[in-house]
């Protein structure tokens, strides 16, 4: 793994398929997950890129696709939500869910009891995943991880992921790498070189899948990563994508 800053090559819309994370990549991380916003100029650039890529553009996120739609409105796009447990193969396709939320009911009840009356730890229910937030209280990291581990109780049917001031649990068997691979077997992604941008530990699955297929893995921010390339932050992502008013990296034909 590398922590070096290596600027990624230019995006080639004729050959590449673009897969991109949302929080910490397209938008800045904030204490309230519902308070994020994307600049209109950046949103217009994403719409233009989607067209330039002949539709080979998808957002891969831990969020639900319905939330992504709300934040990126009016853009419509292929997406994998809840780390791939939700999937939309194309902008106008229905959302497919790999499982129902009821499998998480025992964890809901357990964590609900443990967190009753607490304001420093907050449980977000995504339906197909549960997220324990401790943003603003970094000293609670170990406690949050312990509470989640106790709720899961070693059940291998669940996957626990530690992210940026969160601990998340969802059904095992899916991650962003597998979600990305599923897109690549169908048009308009099939036959293209995958490019993936993400900032968190959950994006390492995507980086690994991209590198196995000869693609370009781009880590956003600091920290060790399997990605070969790096951008400093959200602003750098939008500059690299060529948001209006910024020099564009797209279209030079470089890989």
Which amino acids are annotated catalytic? 21
Phi, psi of 76 (to 5 degrees): -115, 140
Lateral strand order in the sheet of 158-163? 122-125, 129-133, 166-171, 158-163
Alpha-carbon span 184 to 180, nearest angstrom = 7
> Cα-atom radius of gyration of the chain, to the nearest Å?
18
Cβ-contact 41, 48 below 8 angstroms: no
* Strands (DSSP E) found in 120-235: 122-125, 129-133, 158-163, 166-171, 193-198, 216-220, 229-231
């Amino acid at each position: 793994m590398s922590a070096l800053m290596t600027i990624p090559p230019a995006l080639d819309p004729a050959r590449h398929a673009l897969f991109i994370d949302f929080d910490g990549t397209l938008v800045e991380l904030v204490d309230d997950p519902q308070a994020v916003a994307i600049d209109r100029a950046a949103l217009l650039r994403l719409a233009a890129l989607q067209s330039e890529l002949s539709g080979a553009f998808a957002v891969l996120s831990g969020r639900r696709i319905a939330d992504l739609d709300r934040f990126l409105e009016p853009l419509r796009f292929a997406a994998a939500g809840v780390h791939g447990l939700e999937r939309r193969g194309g902008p106008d396709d229905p959302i497919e869910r790999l499982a129902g939320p009821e499998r998480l009911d025992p964890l809901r009840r357990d964590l609900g009891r443990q967190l009753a009356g607490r304001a420093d730890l907050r449980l977000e229910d995504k339906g197909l995943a549960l997220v324990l937030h401790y943003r603003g209280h970094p000293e609670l990291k170990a406690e949050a991880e312990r509470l989640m581990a106790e709720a899961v109780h070693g059940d291998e049917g669940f996957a626990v992921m530690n992210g940026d001031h969160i601990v998340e649990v969802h059904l095992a068997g899916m991650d962003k790498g597998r979600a990305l691979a599923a897109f690549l077997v169908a048009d308009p992604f099939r036959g293209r070189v995958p490019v993936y941008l993400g900032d968190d530990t959950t994006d390492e699955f995507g980086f690994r899948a991209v590198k196995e297929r000869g693609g370009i893995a781009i880590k956003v921010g600091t920290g060790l990563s399997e990605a070969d390339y790096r951008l400093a932050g959200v602003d750098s992502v939008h500059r690299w994508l060529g948001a209006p008013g910024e020099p564009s990296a797209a279209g030079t034909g470089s890989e």
